[in-house]
Amino acid sequence: MKLFASLLIAAALVAPVVSQANEPAAPAVAKPDLAAGGATFAAKGCTACHGADGNSAITTNPKLAQQHPAYLAKQLYEFKSGKRVNAVMGGMSLALDDNEIRNVTAWLGSQKAKPGFAKDRELVAMGERIFRGGIADRQIPACAGCHAPNGVGIPDQYPRLAGQHADYISTQLMAFRESDPKVGRKNSVQMNQVAAKLNDREIKAVSDYIAGLR
- What is the pLDDT at residue 98? 98
What domains lie within the chain, and their CATH numbers? Answer: 34-110 (1.10.760.10), 121-211 (1.10.760.10)
Q: What is the pTM of this model?
A: 0.86
d(CA 214, CA 210): 9
Alpha helix segments (H runs only) across the chain: 2-22, 34-43, 47-50, 69-81, 87-94, 98-110, 121-133, 144-147, 166-177, 189-195, 200-211
- What is the pLDDT at residue 28? 61
Q: What is the mean pLDDT of each run of 10 residues along the chain (214 residues)?
A: 39 37 56 98 98 98 98 98 95 97 98 95 94 98 98 96 98 96 92 98 98 96
- What is the pLDDT at residue 183? 85
